[in-house]
Amino acid sequence: MKIPKNIYIYSIIATVIVGAVIFWISRADNKIDDVVDMSTLFGASPSPDQSPLPSQTPRLSNNTPKPTPGIIVSEVASYQSWVKWLDPQNRRLALDEDCTSIVPSQVDYPNNVEVMLDNSASNKPRILKIGSQNYSLNAQGWIVTTLHSETLPAKLTMFCGDMELGQLDLVAK
């Protein structure tokens, strides 16, 4: 059987094009996984990049846990940053190891002041009472709270257990 001459010519042209593509790919040191845009090989201008399509938003079902608000750890200031900020203003109330004293023990604050209650010197949890409010402090722990009174001036006595530690006076700003 005789092969027609034009099929023979077309197969030679196709072989040359495939060879050129393989040569081009190997010369560019592309990986096998890379995709070659054929339009750039033959001089056509590439099409503009397309933006990726947004993925479908997952739907919540009854079994899907619902997000709950919580603490964003990166937004919580460290102990050292609170001490650095509040200590120079006498707004860090530091208990001693035995809960027999607090520094400062006699101080005036404006109403709605933010203070640090610091039990970091003790290996025991403590309950610090300021006025009528109890504050639970973990062993070697601390909290930041706002002191507030509806009536001003207010004299808030501080207790650790039965031990009176001092008095805070809240005054109008």
Quote the domain boundaries for residue 24: 5-41
**70 lies in a domain?**
no
The total of structural domains in the chain comes to 2
The answer on 86 and 33 residing in a single domain is no
The answer on 24 and 106 residing in a single domain is no
User: pLDDT by residue (tens digit) across 58-109?
Assistant: 555 555 555 555 544 445 578 888 888 888 888 999 999 999 999 999 999 9
Is the peptide bond preceding residue 69 cis, with omega within 30 degrees of 0? no
**166 lies in a domain?**
yes
pLDDT given for residue 79 in this prediction: 84
The answer on 90 and 23 residing in a single domain is no
Three-state secondary structure call for residue 160: strand
User: pLDDT by residue (tens digit) across 100-110?
Assistant: 999 999 999 99
The answer on 104 and 35 residing in a single domain is no
Are 138 and 123 in contact, with CB atoms under 8 Å apart? Answer: no
**33 lies in a domain?**
yes
Q: What tokens appear for 53 in the block?
A: 């399509």
What are φ and ψ of residue 55, in 5° steps?
Answer: -80, 160
**57 lies in a domain?**
no
Between 33 and 95, the higher pLDDT residue: 95
Question: How far is residue 97's CA from residue 79's CA, in Å, rounded to a whole number?
Answer: 18
Q: How many residues does the chain have?
A: 173
